[in-house]
Structure 1
């Protein structure tokens, strides 16, 4: 299985995350790349390739142009305004404030375009996001051309990034960008299956009124889990997209057997919708020892997950999302990919 990876993903070296009321070193860190790359090389899974640079057009196909411009300029404007730390929002256009104006001050723009406060913007953030979407595009292009599965080692992740908002460590929605590329290449319908512990609110929002992308997410119950305001079972899509958004929220501590039963239902829906390609938002934070998640997967269970995903019988692209138990992240990612490959042979 071909892997795509870019050294540009390391350019985001954030130092600050707001977690449990304290400023801590971010859980989403460049070391995640090293651990996955190490395990990939040891496994002999396949070649690791650098993607082409695809520019901004694929980003602007799913994201607001003004939002993209904000991300491109945020760090420079933040520093020019005299701020000493990393760019973290401290006010939003909340329910009692106006949401139809974008302030001129960079602090106000941060609040307008942010969905949460845990994700700082630091030097190199925009460049890393550009590299990450190139990784996703390289992977999907390979699968579209060959029909072979591929893995995009995306960093930063993407599934929390909405049409015009960042948060949850995400800036550009890599899965959405890849799905749009598949549609632009002639596919009639694409499935995005999100197995990250946290709901892919951004992916849902981008495609919520469309029927050419079936979005399915298996995740922690938003009643008690970030992002809290998205991911409920009654969110089915809207207008033309009615029925093409499916959520399986599950409580903390959900067993692997229960989770796999939901996955089987998801795969049946993908088959019924006659999707032509499968994009997997691969979050391995469903691991039992993940520090910010609460599911119960063992490393061995990820092999089973890969085997189940192969049952979809579709050209498949795996894109890295979450996973923060860094000691095991490489093993868990490679177990999914090897399980998938074994079932394909």
Structure 2
């Protein structure tokens, strides 16, 4: 399996995030991708390639030009104001406030964010842009005939909506790749999100569309981030009704419970008749993940990969979360090796 990767991810290294009422060091750090890359090489999974640059056009198929312009220029504006440290929002347009785009940098940052977990640093735009190109390069490989490819993206993307960042995410790499498949002639795409946290951005992007089926297995949002999306009654709207499936599970869920949800999700994907699959590959379902509450163990990820392979679809894996840094490489690559074993 080909892996696409860019060293540009090192350009994004946030100093802090707001979590549990405190500013603390970011769980989303460069070492995550470094460990995965090392494991890919150690296991001789396949060639590692740098991405091509497809420009902004395929990104603008998902994200608004105004949002991209803001994100690309935010750091320079912050520096011009004499800002020090990471750029983080401190106010948001809550339900009682007007949804108005202000002129100020901080007002715009709040408008384009939903939490204080996505710090902007000097290199964040370039890192996120390159991660999107990683996803597009892996997607192009499948369009050219490969059965699978791995996009080792960092920062992750599934919490980012069309014009909103948050949850460590700025550009929705999986959604950008899914849209590219559609634009290149695949009228039915499925996205399977196996990250511990619900892919609220991906759901929002495709919620009213029937050309992308979204299925997510995640911690129950009644108790887990992102709290305000990911419930089972969210089934899509308009043309997209019946194309959105959420499988929230309680804290402490182990492989048996998780695998039963995966079986339901895979059946939905099969019934839909998807022509290609995008997997938002988060491994923060691991039992030792510091910010998650599931109990999957490393061998379970091999089994996960084999079940995904049984769908028989060309499959693009896009890296999302996973914060047990020492184990992230083993767990992510186990999914990929399980998938390859299931297709052999």
TM-score normalised to the size of structure 2?
0.99
1:41 matched residue in structure 2 = 41
1:214 matched residue in structure 2 = 213
Q: Deviations over 1:248-296 (max 9, x none)?
A: 0111111211110111111111111110000000000000000000001
The 3-state SS of whatever aligns with 2:125 is helix
Give the CA deviation at 1:118.
2.0
1:11 matched residue in structure 2 = 11
1:188 matched residue in structure 2 = 187
Give the CA deviation at 1:66.
0.5
Structure 2 unpaired stretches of 5+: none
The 3-state SS of whatever aligns with 1:14 is coil
The answer to whether the 8 Å contact 1:9/1:156 transfers is yes
Q: CA RMSD in A?
A: 0.8
The answer to whether the 8 Å contact 1:157/1:321 transfers is yes
The answer to whether the 8 Å contact 1:13/1:123 transfers is no
The answer to whether the 8 Å contact 1:8/1:128 transfers is yes
Give the CA deviation at 1:128.
0.4
2:22 matched residue in structure 1 = 22
Give the CA deviation at 1:22.
2.1
Give the CA deviation at 1:32.
0.8
Q: What CA distance in whole angstroms lies between the structure 1 residues aligned with 2:117 and 2:316?
A: 28
2:314 matched residue in structure 1 = 315
The answer to whether the 8 Å contact 1:18/1:119 transfers is no
Q: Displaced runs of 4+ in structure 1, greater than 3 A?
A: none
Q: What CA distance in whole angstroms lies between the structure 2 residues aligned with 1:34 and 1:172?
A: 20
The 3-state SS of whatever aligns with 1:146 is coil
Q: What CA distance in whole angstroms lies between the structure 2 residues aligned with 1:22 and 1:321?
A: 24
1:199 matched residue in structure 2 = 198
Q: What CA distance in whole angstroms lies between the structure 2 residues aligned with 1:237 and 1:80?
A: 43
Q: Deviations over 1:70-111 (max 9, x none)?
A: 100011111212222211111111111111x21111010010
Q: What CA distance in whole angstroms lies between the structure 1 residues aligned with 2:306 and 2:95?
A: 45
1:73 matched residue in structure 2 = 73
1:296 matched residue in structure 2 = 295
Q: What CA distance in whole angstroms lies between the structure 2 residues aligned with 1:119 and 1:273?
A: 34
Q: What CA distance in whole angstroms lies between the structure 2 residues aligned with 1:133 and 1:119?
A: 16
Q: What CA distance in whole angstroms lies between the structure 2 residues aligned with 1:39 and 1:120?
A: 28
Q: What CA distance in whole angstroms lies between the structure 2 residues aligned with 1:344 and 1:263?
A: 18
2:85 matched residue in structure 1 = 85
Q: What CA distance in whole angstroms lies between the structure 2 residues aligned with 1:340 and 1:85?
A: 42
The 3-state SS of whatever aligns with 2:144 is helix
1:245 matched residue in structure 2 = 244
Aligned pairs for 1:3-152 (under 5 A) are 3-99=3-99, 101-152=100-151
Q: What CA distance in whole angstroms lies between the structure 2 residues aligned with 1:119 and 1:59?
A: 19
Give the CA deviation at 1:174.
0.3
- Matched length: 344
1:332 matched residue in structure 2 = 331
TM-score normalised to the size of structure 1?
0.99
